[in-house]
Amino acid sequence: MKRAFLGEFEEVVLLAVAILDEDAYGVPITQEIEQRTGRAVGFNSVHTTLQRLEAKGFLASTMGGATAERGGRRKRYFSLTAAGRKALWEVKQMRAQLWEAVPLKTVQLMTP
CATH number of domain containing 50 = 1.10.10.10
pLDDT-based confidence at residue 17 (cuts at 50, 70, 90):
very high
- State which residues form the domain around 68: 8-110
Judged against a pLDDT cut of 80, whether residue 28 lies above it is answered with yes
Domain-embedded: residue 73: yes
Predicted confidence at residue 72, as pLDDT, reads 73
What is the arithmetic mean of pLDDT over 22-31?
A: 94
For residues 53 and 84, is the Cβ–Cβ distance under 8 A?
A: yes
Domain-embedded: residue 1: no
Predicted confidence at residue 70, as pLDDT, reads 64
Domain-embedded: residue 98: yes
Domain-embedded: residue 83: yes
Q: Structural domain tally of the chain?
A: 1
Domain-embedded: residue 2: no
Domain-embedded: residue 3: no
Predicted confidence at residue 77, as pLDDT, reads 95
Predicted confidence at residue 2, as pLDDT, reads 60
Name the CA dihedral angle for 21, 25, 27, 28, rounded to a multiple of 10 degrees.
-10
Predicted confidence at residue 98, as pLDDT, reads 93
Which DSSP symbol is given to 73?
A: P
